[in-house]
Amino acid sequence: MAGIVTFTVETASLDDKVIPALTDEMSALGLKTTLPQTEGGEMALPAGTYGAVIQIGDQTAQLKHYYRSLVAIMRKLKIKGTYLVNVSQEPSFVCGKL
């Protein structure tokens, strides 16, 4: 079964140099700034949001993996702010602030 994972990081207060580094880190995880539309084409995600279509076997394990990955990236890039990770097979999310 497929689902969508999205990461959203508050980017309004980030330095202009941090956003490209964040995008590079998210790309390394397979996340993009667009998602495929069911009618074809790509849908652009809001600023600071990255997503991907994933195969979901164990949603809890997937959520933990992506949550830990995002927190590690934010710490690596010294990003302080709010975040949200959502896995949408059955709506399940974590959010917080570093």
Q: Which residue has the higher pLDDT, 58 or 32?
A: 32
Q: Which residue has the tokens 């195969």?
A: 55
CATH of domain 2-97: 3.30.70
Higher pLDDT pick, 23 / 61: 23
Residues in the chain: 98
| Integer angstrom CA distances of residue 69 from 1, 42, 48, 63 | 22, 25, 15, 10
> Tell me: the pLDDT tens digits for 43-83?
999 989 999 888 767 777 777 888 899 899 999 999 988 88
